[in-house]
Amino acid sequence: MKKFLKKSGWVDILVSIIFAIIGIFMIVKTDLAIKIISYVLGGIFIVIGIVKSIDYFLSKGKYDFYNYDLIYGIIAIIIGLVTIFCSGLIESMFRIMIAIWIIYSGLMRLSFSLKLHAAQMGMWNVSLILSIIMIIGGIYILFQSGALILTIGIIMLVYSIIDLIQSAIFIKYVDELL
């Protein structure tokens, strides 16, 4: 269990580094970031749609679920095209997804800091403050409909730094918690 939790902590560190890179990119190249995100997501959906449509025609009559492959494929292609051509919509969706992720992560870190406090371990108060900052940042992104990608990039960068610190604290104290 300890090994699993430590591995989970290292995965959190990797995710935080990825968020930091994305945040820096969003700060430096705001307009390009939205276009790239839209094109990549749209391309993924279109490829999935094409693969599912091909699966439909190749497996027709062999499986019970083949009827859904064509519908799934067409819907995926439509979503891909909308994603590519409606980058403003993607910006809003991306903002909401990032906000929910940050709030969730902040709540999980808040729970962890309360467990540290209950176990009378050090650094719980730092962990608590950082968790609250994460939650506030996530709520700001969620409810600030006019939030610019630049602001989201800055908050993502700050989140990733806070999460790196939180993950280091978690890895340090995981043995003592179990």
Q: Compute the Cα dihedral for 55, 59, 63, 69 and give only its sign.
A: positive
Query: Where do the structural domains in the chain lie, given as residue ranges?
Result: 2-177
Mean pLDDT of all residues in the chain? 83
What local confidence, expressed as pLDDT, does residue 50 receive?
94
Helices (H), the chain: 2-28, 30-59, 66-85, 87-118, 124-143, 149-177
Share of the chain above pLDDT 70, in %: 90
Share of the chain above pLDDT 90, in %: 21
pLDDT surpassing 80 at residue 139: yes
Single out the residue of 139, 41, 58 nearest to residue 94, CA to CA: 41
- How confident is the model over 37-86, as pLDDT tens digits? 788 889 999 999 999 888 888 876 565 555 677 888 899 999 999 988 88
Is this model's pTM higher than 0.85 or not?
no
